[in-house]
Structure formats: C-alpha cells, structure tokens
Amino acid sequence: METCPREHPEWFRELQARFFDMALEGPLNPRVAFEVPVRDASRTCALLERGDVPGKVVLVAGNSGPQAGRTS
C-alpha cells in the first residue's frame, strides 16, 4: 500500500476523496471497543498488541475511564 499513491496517484486521490466524503456523510461506522484517556495509552497499546481488543480504541482527552462500546 505504501507504493500505491506513487504508482497510481490519480486512483489514490479518487479513493481518498470518496473515503473522506463517506466519513463526512456518516456511512462509516467503525466498531469502537473503548474510549481511553490519553494518560492510559501505554496500557492500551499492550492490549492491542495481544489482540485483546475487538474493535478500535479511541484516545480521548480528559479524566474519564475506559468506556466499552462507545460509538460517538
């Protein structure tokens, strides 16, 4: 994938534009496993490396603790 933008720049720009359009319009619904304060990022990385997280981990500013299944 690293060489794709260089080898096929027009295709890559079109794909990227469609992706950002979808992101702005809302049809992308990533599975969020946890929202974790930035201060706990290193602990969260260990979970990700082991494969113990069934979705995305979102790092958030603030003092709230991990919240499972948050999608917004």
The pLDDT tens digits of the residues spanning 5-47 come to 788 899 989 999 998 898 888 877 888 988 989 998 888 888 8
Which pLDDT does position 60 carry in this prediction? 92
Q: Kindly state the tokens that stand for 45.
A: 């990385």
* Sheet of 67-68, strands arranged across: 56-60, 32-37, 67-68
pTM of structure? 0.48
Which pLDDT does position 5 carry in this prediction? 73
